[in-house]
């Protein structure tokens, strides 16, 4: 992956090229061995004026004439691209497949980037009516606080933990630790969410290479197996959901993934979950089954999700600390889990990690992808 952050010196194609070259070098492959390419990017048209991103990437990386497909599922674009590549390899259609995720978000004013991100919700019934994504997640937060007694300090604890992890990640956008007081004193964005409860606008790219397991073992010394990758959907507008305190698509995708992998939440050692806002991580660890519903805030406050706790959550720093170039996030999660299972997450390694999980959400929960990974060497 590239360093995540505000990259004023490079463009969309430069970012994906850097991550792509690093991925191929990691497994010792040349471009001539790649059979297909999938790339997640949410808003390249609105943010850099470039649609037809799949063809652009194949062209610039020298991978023509192989099939190259762009996938879009809002902030879950990278996770959906990963799953599609997984299905392609598992079906036997292609063997060596590259999966990329990329977004260049800082070339437009913040207002334009925010409007583009708003399209991840219901444009007609939410964005047009004035709802922002911080506003939608603030509604979830308020309901969670009402139903379960979750506090603003518990949400702040998510940000503190993730910044502490990001401070040890050389690829992270924010490599500084913060305190509960820092979060609580930051400006309000959409009450009860404050600046430090929100993920940033970010440039970045991430790439992984997929192959059938037996072939992967011949290509690289430390292959990681994807044992399950499941996707689910829900209504795009928040007002049509059965609950404001859970992401039903996450629950369904997780249930299917655990069943396919023949595993349970207690078997996961490390997980990258979608913390676009601090309340999102609290709901995610509940919906994934790591803690009981309503206990996500207390579990975070008590340190259960820290490195060395019950299950290490967002060791990369998550979207909050590492950054959130929306199309790249789902692939970055796979990169971090791979590093963790290889024992190469310098400064933030989870001791003895052998099974990991990645959870990527699109919009306010209309799409969710859950993938489970296992060390096999």
User: Which residues have C-beta within 8 Å of that of residue 366, sequence separation ≥ 6?
Assistant: 74, 120, 121, 233, 234, 235, 236, 249
What are the Cα distances from residue 64, in Å, to 59, 93, 94, 178, 208?
A: 6, 18, 15, 46, 18
Structure tokens at 128: 């047009």
Contact at 8 Å (CB) between 193 and 137?
Answer: yes
How do 97-103 and 36-40 pair as beta strands? parallel
Strands (E), the chain: 36-40, 68-71, 97-103, 188-190, 193-194, 204-210, 224-233, 270-272, 312-313, 355-362, 367-375
Judge whether 75 counts as a catalytic residue.
Answer: yes
The question of whether 239 is a catalytic residue gets the answer: no
Q: Tokens for 328?
A: 């790249």
Compute the C-alpha angle 109/113/118, nearest 5°: 145
- Return all residues near 61 (Cβ < 8 A) that are at least 6 apart: 16, 17, 20, 31, 37
Active-site residue, selected from the candidate residues 163, 269, 324, 359: 324
Distance CA 210, CA 190 (A): 40
Question: Annotated catalytic residue: which of 39, 75, 198, 276?
Answer: 75
Is the preceding peptide bond at 65 cis, omega within 30 degrees of 0?
yes
User: Any idea what the Cα angle at residue 161 is, between residues 3 and 230, rounded to 5°?
Assistant: 70
Residues 227, 263: Cα–Cα separation, whole Å: 10
Return the biggest CA–CA distance within the chain.
56
Residue position matching structure tokens 């790339």: 39
| In contact, 99 and 82? CB cutoff 8 Å | yes
Which residues are tagged catalytic? 75, 324
């Amino acid at each position: 992956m590239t360093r995540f952050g505000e990259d004023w010196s490079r463009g969309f194609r430069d970012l994906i090229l850097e991550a792509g070259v690093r991925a191929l070098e990691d497994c010792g492959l040349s471009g001539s061995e790649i059979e297909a390419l999938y790339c997640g990017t949410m808003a390249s048209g609105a943010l850099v004026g470039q649609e037809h991103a799949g063809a652009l990437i194949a062209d610039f990386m020298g991978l023509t004439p192989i099939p190259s497909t762009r996938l879009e599922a809002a902030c879950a674009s990278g996770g959906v691209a990963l799953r599609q590549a997984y299905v392609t390899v598992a079906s036997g259609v292609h063997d060596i497949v590259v999966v990329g995720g990329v977004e260049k978000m800082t070339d437009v004013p913040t207002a334009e980037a925010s409007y583009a991100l708003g399209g991840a919700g219901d444009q007609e019934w939410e964005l047009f009516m004035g709802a922002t994504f911080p506003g939608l997640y603030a509604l979830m937060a308020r309901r969670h606080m009402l139903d379960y007694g979750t506090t603003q300090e518990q949400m702040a604890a998510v940000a503190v933990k993730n910044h502490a992890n990001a401070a040890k990640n050389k690829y992270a956008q924010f490599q500084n630790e913060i305190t509960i007081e820092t979060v609580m004193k930051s400006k309000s964005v959409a009450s009860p969410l404050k600046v430090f409860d929100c993920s940033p606008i970010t440039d970045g790219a991430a790439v992984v290479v997929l192959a059938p397991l037996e072939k992967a073992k011949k290509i690289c010394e430390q292959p990681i197996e994807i044992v399950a990758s499941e996707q689910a959907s829900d209504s795009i507008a928040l007002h049509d959901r059965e609950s404001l305190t859970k992401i039903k698509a996450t629950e369904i995708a997780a249930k299917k993934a655990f069943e396919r992998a023949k595993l349970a939440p207690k078997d996961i050692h490390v997980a990258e979950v979608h913390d676009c806002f601090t309340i999102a991580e609290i709901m995610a660890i509940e919906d994934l089954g790591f803690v009981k519903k309503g206990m996500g805030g207390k579990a975070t406050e008590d340190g259960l999700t820290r490195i060395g706790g019950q299950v290490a959550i967002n060791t990369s720093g998550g979207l909050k600390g590492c950054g959130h170039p929306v199309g790249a996030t789902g692939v970055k999660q796979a990169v971090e889990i791979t590093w963790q299972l290889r024992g190469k997450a310098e400064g933030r390694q989870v001791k003895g990690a052998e099974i990991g999980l990645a959870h990527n959400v699109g919009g306010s929960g209309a799409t969710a992808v859950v993938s489970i990974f296992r060390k096999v060497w």
